[in-house]
Amino acid sequence: MQYAHTFLPKARHILLAACASAAMMTAQAQTAAAPASPSAPAVSPNDPRLPLVQRLLELWHVENVAITMVQRPAITTVEQAKMALQGRVSDEKQLRVMKDIAPDVQKYIDDATPIVKADAHQVVKETLTPLLLQNFNETELKQIIALLESPVKKKFEELVPSMEKALGERVVKDCATQITPLMQTMAQNVGTKLKAATANPN
């Protein structure tokens, strides 16, 4: 298993670089997408619609989009680590390495999430509040809140995971004989090319 020992340090550097690159791209995308504060409409602190907007944003949880984006590199890193190890080390060693990686990934999530969450709350307040006030009157805001608070909506959302699971299991069952060979071919081809690339880095 000499090959595995020489490959793992390289794999870790590649994974860390990929993670850092993804995080930078996320930050750049957020910066580019954020509207300039001078162009945001002015908000009057006496606007009677402000409590309605605050309630709407509490129900919407739109800041979860930013949180998901910043956590995505962690998921990608784990997936890439599994791919890098698969077929190159024993199953037992793969499990040990993945357990060793897990605290690093979790630390990134634990450190990054509060930073983004705090910033997202502020950005939501500064950017979305004036836009909502600019585009919706009091009656419309109340209608949106009623929709978000609807028991029927809550019931539907609670059922979504079960429906998605049922759909996924059925599709996997129906297509397994066709999809499995395709997945195996893909994994084999990618593994062969990775092995060749790491064996001859020049």
pLDDT of residue 39: 55
pTM of this structure: 0.52
- 88 contact partners, CB below 8 Å, separation of at least 6: 3, 4, 7, 195
Q: Region 2-26: what's the mean pLDDT?
A: 39
Higher-scoring residue by pLDDT: 193, 102: 102
Euclidean distance between CA atoms 28 and 128, whole angstroms: 20
Higher-scoring residue by pLDDT: 11, 92: 92
pLDDT digits (tens, 9 = 90+) for 67-104: 888 888 888 888 888 888 887 888 888 888 889 989 99
pLDDT digits (tens, 9 = 90+) for 149-158: 999 988 988 9
As a whole number of Å, the end-to-end CA separation of the chain is: 22
- At residue 35, φ and ψ (nearest 5 deg) are -70, 145
Of 4-18, 20-34, 118-132, 178-192, where does mean pLDDT reach its minimum?
4-18
Does pLDDT of 190 surpass 60?
yes
pLDDT of residue 23: 41
Q: What is the mean pLDDT of the chain?
A: 77
Among residues 48, 53, 57, 61, the alpha carbon closest in space to that of 141 is found at: 53
Euclidean distance between CA atoms 56 and 169, whole angstroms: 35
pLDDT digits (tens, 9 = 90+) for 39-70: 556 788 889 999 999 999 888 888 888 888 88
pLDDT of residue 18: 40
pLDDT of residue 137: 95
Among residues 143, 119, 135, 156, the alpha carbon closest in space to that of 52 is found at: 143
